[in-house]
Each structure stands twice: as C-alpha cells, then as structure tokens.
Amino acid sequence: MNFYKFQGTGNDFVMIDNRNKTFPIDNQLIKKLCDRRFGVGGDGLILLENAEEADFKMVYFNSDGNESTMCGNGGRCIVAFAKFLNIFEDYCKFIAIDGLHEAEISGNNVKLKMSDVDEITENNGNFVLDTGSPHFVKFVENLHEYPVYEKGKEIRNSLTFRENGINVNFVEILDKNSIFVRTYERGVEDETLSCGTGATASALAFIKDKNLSEVNVNVLGGNLKIYAKKNHNSFKNIWLEGLATQVFFGTIDLNNF
C-alpha cells in the first residue's frame, strides 16, 4: 500500500488515496499505523475517497484508531493531498463528516471553509462550542508554562464531558487581534502541536464580544489565521488558513505489518 505523510502546523497525518476502496478499515491497524514507534506515526489517518456531489470525500481517524469528527488541519492537509493527486486546480469542494467544505490553495497555503457555529455557551467563565468537533476554551496567562496536559486531561475526563469527550484549548491573549493556543486533543489523548478546529474555536471565543473579523493564532507548530463573520452569538463564513505540506511518502506491506 502507498501512503503519504502531510503536516499542517505540526499536526501530522498518514494520508491514503482510497478512491479504489482497497484500504482495510480496521481500528487496530489504523492505531498501529499512527504509532510513532511501531508504525508510520501521526496524529491521525485520513482516507481520500470519491464523492458524487464533490471533488472528493475525507474520512478521518484519530490516532486511537477510531473514526472521529472534523479535523481542521487534516482538512487542509487533504486539500494539499488532493492537489498533489491532480484532482483539482486551485479551488475544491469536499465532503467530511460534518458536511460540505470549500477550500482554496496557493502553493503550500490552504484556506479552508469551516462549518457555521450556531452558538457559544459559557461554562463557569469558560466557553464551549462546536466547530466541526466539540471544544472547551479557557483563557489563561503565561501559557508557555501552563500544565496543558494535566489540566486538559482533567477537563476532558470530567463528569460533564467524559461520555463523549471534548477537546480542551488554553488561550493566552497576545494583543488586540492575536492569541496563542495550546490544545489537548481527545482521541490523541495528549497535547498536539496544533489543532485546526481548536484554533478556530479559540478565535471565535476571543472575538465573541469584539468587533473583529480576523484573528492571528499562534500554535506550537506555527501560525494560523481565522476569518469569521459574527452575528450576535453565531458565526458564519468561517475560514481557517495556514500552510500544509507533504513530508514524505512510502509503501508498506499490510500483510506483514
């Protein structure tokens, strides 16, 4: 089987062209492929498949082997992968688990349209919202020194969120239109270098009571930009922009893996 490795601001994925439907979808196999010691290594695995109503379909699995909700950086990476496969030129539409997405690509820069967000709810001074995946957003100070893994794991496994899990974002305000975000991701069960839906959720929580339509988001793996149109407590025309690049490609014998 041929595979490719892509990364978007340090969020890395095993990418497979599954338009011929030959990949054996098995949770343990996917988990092993994502293992950084015994497999290829990645925060997740993504299948690119055919779609009648769009240019292609995205099927995303977390590194624990389970199919999951929308992944923003994974979405940007599959756009770069589809461009590499000559599926489209500069603009595409694709189907993901949360519906239809649009995207534009220029070089290694990918701009991905995210799902609309109907509301942001407050939770003891923090925020909860769904940007294709569920997110908890907490504003803190001195984020470089903050115990993200310990606090993220605690919130993700709390009684409120334990059943379905939630991604936990810690946000430090840098200036009037810039934030720094670190994220503990469910399914990975660890901090990742970047989370696209988490960066989006954090940006929306940041501009909830501000007159802003663009936010610069610094993550451990690089920089992202979020665009959004606010209407009271809801948001539309949300775009996630950043670099997505191919790291390497190879082949693997699944019969002896």
Query: Is 167 marked within a binding site?
Result: yes
- Write down the catalytic residue from 34, 71, 77, 92: 71
Helices and strands (H and E) in the chain: how many: 4, 17
Q: Please, are residues 170 and 146 in contact by the beta-carbon 8 Å criterion?
A: yes
- Write down the catalytic residue from 34, 77, 92, 195: 195
Query: Is 196 marked within a binding site?
Result: yes
Query: Is 145 marked within a binding site?
Result: no
Cα–Cα distance list, 256 to 41, 83, 250, 253 (Å): 17, 31, 15, 6
Query: Is 185 marked within a binding site?
Result: yes
Active site residue 34: no
CA distance 220 to 205: 19
| Helix (H/G/I), strand (E/B), else coil: 89 | coil
Query: Is 197 marked within a binding site?
Result: yes
CA distance 225 to 212: 13
CA distance 86 to 96: 19
Query: Is 62 marked within a binding site?
Result: yes
Query: Is 142 marked within a binding site?
Result: no
Per-residue tokens: 100:
């239809």
Per-residue tokens: 63:
């590194």
Q: Where is the binding site, in residues?
A: 11, 62, 72-73, 167, 185-186, 196-197
- The catalytic site residues sit at 71, 195
Q: Where is the binding site for substrate, in residues?
A: 11, 62, 72-73, 167, 185-186, 196-197
